[in-house]
Amino acid sequence: MTELGGYQVVARRYRPQLFADLVGQEHVARGLSGAIESGRIGHAYLFTGARGVGKTSAARIYAKALSCEQGPAAEPCNECDSCRAIAAGQDVDVVEIDAASNRGIDEIRQLRQNVAVRPARGRYKIYIIDEVHMLTREAFNALLKTLEEPPAHVKFVLCTTEPEKLPITILSRCQRFDFTTVDTPSIARRLAQIVEAEGADVSAEALRLIARRAAGSMRDSQSLLEQLLGSASGKIGVDDVHALIGTGREERIGELVVALAGRDAARALAVLDASLEGGADAGGVLEQLLAALRDCLLASVGCEASLLTQSQGLGVDLAGLGGRLGTATLLAMLQILDQSLSRMRTSGHAAILAEMAVIRLATLEDLESVATAIDRLASPAAAAAAPSRLAAPRPAAAPAPTPQKKTADLIAESAEPAVSPPAGLPSAAATPAATSPAASAAAQRSITEVSSPEAAPPGLPEDASEAWQAAAGVLEGLASDFAAEVTAAVWRDDVLEVSLPAHAATAAAFLRRPEMAASVARAIESLAGRRVRHAVVLAAPVTTVAAAAVGTEPQSRPAPAQSQAALLREAGEHPLVAHARTVFDAAIRKVEPPRSREPRPAAPVAVAGGRPVEADDGRFTEDDPETGTEETDG
């Protein structure tokens, strides 16, 4: 227990002394023991893996097995003078080199000179080079020849945590063994053995918490246990571990997850504040939350319960919460937490950043994947459905087309005339009559013709407009004014979809803000008794769609070049850009104006969502309003 009259820490006192003692590295033990038994002993080995998983310990055990007076043996005896000297680090034939402080070419030249000297008393001269990736390029080049063809009595063991930094010429000269991170149950069992040997009293829950905190590193777990044994007295429980490592009680983390799933920002902040007042560290709480949401994510994609490492102790059904939140929403939550943790490492306001992260998580809208959204919009029901009008239609104006109308449908309808022309006559799109008001009105009616709206979800009014008016009644001030601009509402696949005129882009962007969307969602939930999603869409301009129906471009003058400030303002009002800025806490730096293109007379033009789309040879190109570049889909 002591060394030269001093105290020896747990990690050194309980260092593995046999291959069988390597926890979680059974594949490495079998490989090295089998090589010694079969006599196929290599001249150079590379041990790779994370910190604290047993690389240096395995190298020492291998050196003892080769130098043991009873060997070479599959397991060292640990009784002979050679084994005891290697275990104490005093054997002259086993040289341990720290490459971080001996990384130059001069040290490698000295090593090359020493390898020619035969071992003093053992069979082999063994060089253990730790953190070998720290050697310089010149040092690696100087080591190549010796590493490939060393004297028969020399063996090399290279250890590193970053094998990708090693030259391929070094990798090709070594037998590689990858050390895996140690699983949590194995770490907990080893800690229980150490606690029993130390005569301490530590609860099993506390040991499991330490094992999870160690994140696969046996040495880290032993260091935490060492600190816990030195700072606590009597029976050591979970509270002592939380106080030591700065984490919150697990039941509070469960409450925090439930509050975030319920979009209750006030409750989530109260739970976070209670954890911090109890001595928890803000970063530690977010890391616990990250681990809990990771389990929710795995459950949302159908993983088995055995993979959910945080389910015990939280007191909540993480699998149920994962299915409720959805995979896309959980991915966004994890990205927010990862970004916040990265910022907290370099900030002096960790608590404020943690509160900001919790508020962003609580106000995050339910998301769905792009593929799911496209499939939903492309379904026949979505293409045929249309919103019911909140106000009586004006007789003099044609109704606006449904916002859910796909671009491809508009192009298909605009590409063929309503009546086939007789043989020998030009098509309607090429005749002057095609541009007459009557023809334009007929073509517009063919585009905007829709079927009856879908049935309302159970517990909600059949008239979608009544549901929206009830939900918008909770809004005040500018939000209430913008909500009054809604012209249509319809139920689509259990989603309340409201439409705004094409010129109301600012109102749509404002209503899509997370805080506004959360207020409306809570109002709809109070009506239905459950969560009901809603969407705010913009209708396409009527004049442009009418021109698209007859295959002609609307007559307009070329738009003047916009200033950078105008482009930035326009991009900021775009709903997708506004949503991306909210989710990822991003900022718009620069907007490139769209490149000018020559007109294509033969290509019909349609409008979807307020942006022009040209059809040409079965493909469509779309000007990206965010980057100013053309994207081709075909």
The pLDDT mean for the chain works out to 76
Whether residues 227 and 132 fall in one domain: no
What is the reported pLDDT for 631?
42
The two structure tokens encoding residue 552: 């002609």
* Residue 175 near residue 44, CB atoms below 8 Å: yes
- Reported for 347-350, long-range contacts at CB under 8 A and 24+ positions apart, including other chains, are 350/281, 350/282, 350/283
The two structure tokens encoding residue 116: 């020619």
Eight-class DSSP state of 236: B
**Would residue 234 be called left, alpha or beta, if left means φ above 0 and alpha means ψ between -120 and 50 degrees?**
left
Measured distance CA(376)–CA(519) in Å, rounded: 25
What is the reported pLDDT for 370?
57
Confidence of residue 306 (pLDDT cuts 50, 70, 90): confident
* Residue 182 near residue 23, CB atoms below 8 Å: yes
Confidence of residue 543 (pLDDT cuts 50, 70, 90): low
* Residue 11 near residue 223, CB atoms below 8 Å: yes
What is the reported pLDDT for 415?
38
Lowest-confidence segment of 29-43, 87-101, 366-380, 392-406 by average pLDDT: 392-406
What is the reported pLDDT for 580?
79
Measured distance CA(114)–CA(134) in Å, rounded: 21
- Last residue within a domain, chosen from 123, 149, 179: 179
Confidence of residue 379 (pLDDT cuts 50, 70, 90): low
Average pLDDT over residues 288-293: 89
Q: Is 98 helix (H, G, I), strand (E, B) or coil?
A: strand
Confidence of residue 480 (pLDDT cuts 50, 70, 90): confident
Distances (CA, A) of 528 to 147, 377, 452, 459: 73, 24, 22, 5
Confidence of residue 27 (pLDDT cuts 50, 70, 90): very high
> Is 524 inside a domain boundary?
yes
Average pLDDT over residues 589-618: 50
Chain mean position to CA 197 = 42
> Is 374 inside a domain boundary?
no
CATH number where 231 lies: 1.10.8.60
All residues at 6 or more sequence positions from 11 whose CB lies less than 8 Å from its CB, including other chains: 219, 222, 223, 226
Confidence of residue 561 (pLDDT cuts 50, 70, 90): low
Whether residues 406 and 311 fall in one domain: no
Confidence of residue 490 (pLDDT cuts 50, 70, 90): confident
* Residue 496 near residue 536, CB atoms below 8 Å: no
Q: What is the pLDDT of residues 122-148, one digit of tens each?
A: 889 999 999 999 999 999 999 999 999
Confidence of residue 308 (pLDDT cuts 50, 70, 90): confident
- Last residue within a domain, chosen from 213, 228, 245: 245
What is the reported pLDDT for 376?
63
Task: Give per-residue burial for 15-40: e unless 16+ CB within 10 Å, then b.
Answer: bbbbbebbbbbeebbeebbebbeeee
Q: Is residue 278 pLDDT above 50, yes or no?
A: yes
Lowest-confidence segment of 175-189, 239-253, 554-568 by average pLDDT: 554-568
Strands 495-500 and 488-492: antiparallel
Average pLDDT over residues 278-298: 87
The closest alpha carbon to 536, from 504, 570, 584, 493, belongs to: 504
- Last residue within a domain, chosen from 123, 150, 179: 179
> Is 369 inside a domain boundary?
no
Whether residues 328 and 440 fall in one domain: no
> Is 574 inside a domain boundary?
yes
Q: Is residue 445 pLDDT above 60, yes or no?
A: no
Average pLDDT over residues 601-620: 41
What is the reported pLDDT for 421?
41
Lowest-confidence segment of 118-127, 224-233, 523-532 by average pLDDT: 523-532
Whether residues 594 and 462 fall in one domain: yes
Whether residues 170 and 202 fall in one domain: no
> What's the total number of domains in the chain?
4
Whether residues 580 and 609 fall in one domain: yes
- Reported for 486-489, long-range contacts at CB under 8 A and 24+ positions apart, including other chains, are 486/390, 487/389, 487/390, 487/391, 487/400, 487/539, 488/387, 488/388, 488/389, 488/390, 488/400, 488/539, 489/387, 489/388, 489/390, 489/464, 489/465
Whether the pTM exceeds 0.75: the reply is no
Q: Is residue 46 pLDDT above 90, yes or no?
A: yes
Chain mean position to CA 435 = 53
What is the reported pLDDT for 621?
40
Whether residues 318 and 237 fall in one domain: no
All residues at 6 or more sequence positions from 617 whose CB lies less than 8 Å from its CB, including other chains: none
Lowest-confidence segment of 160-169, 185-194, 605-614 by average pLDDT: 605-614
Element (H, E) at 200: none
* Residue 398 near residue 445, CB atoms below 8 Å: yes
The two structure tokens encoding residue 273: 């504040």
> Is 484 inside a domain boundary?
yes
Whether residues 409 and 311 fall in one domain: no
Residue ranges making up the domain that contains 220: 184-245
Q: What is the pLDDT of residues 257-272, one digit of tens each?
A: 999 988 899 999 999 9
Whether residues 505 and 628 fall in one domain: yes
Measured distance CA(333)–CA(257) in Å, rounded: 11
Whether residues 113 and 30 fall in one domain: yes
Measured distance CA(300)–CA(330) in Å, rounded: 9
Q: What is the pLDDT of residues 53-71, one digit of tens each?
A: 999 999 999 999 999 988 7
> Is 375 inside a domain boundary?
no
Query: Going along 459-532, which residue ranges are E strands?
Result: 488-492, 495-500
Of 242 and 362, which is predicted with more confidence?
362
Eight-class DSSP state of 559: P
Of 450 and 354, which is predicted with more confidence?
354
Torsion, Cα of 108, 110, 113, 118 (10° steps):
-100
Of 377 and 353, which is predicted with more confidence?
353
Q: Is residue 484 pLDDT above 90, yes or no?
A: no
> Is 426 inside a domain boundary?
no
Question: Phi and psi for 332 in degrees, rounded to 5?
Answer: -65, -40
Q: Is residue 470 pLDDT above 90, yes or no?
A: no
Give the percent of the chain with pLDDT over 90: 29
Confidence of residue 239 (pLDDT cuts 50, 70, 90): confident
Whether residues 60 and 107 fall in one domain: yes
> Is 367 inside a domain boundary?
no
What is the reported pLDDT for 595?
60
Measured distance CA(279)–CA(245) in Å, rounded: 10
Question: Phi and psi for 8 in degrees, rounded to 5?
Answer: -110, 130
What is the reported pLDDT for 132?
94
* Residue 429 near residue 416, CB atoms below 8 Å: no
Whether residues 271 and 161 fall in one domain: no
Q: What is the pLDDT of residues 400-433, one digit of tens each?
A: 444 444 333 433 343 343 334 444 434 433 333 3
What is the reported pLDDT for 478?
77
How many other C-beta atoms lie within 10 A of the C-beta of residue 382? 19
CATH number where 348 lies: 1.20.272.10
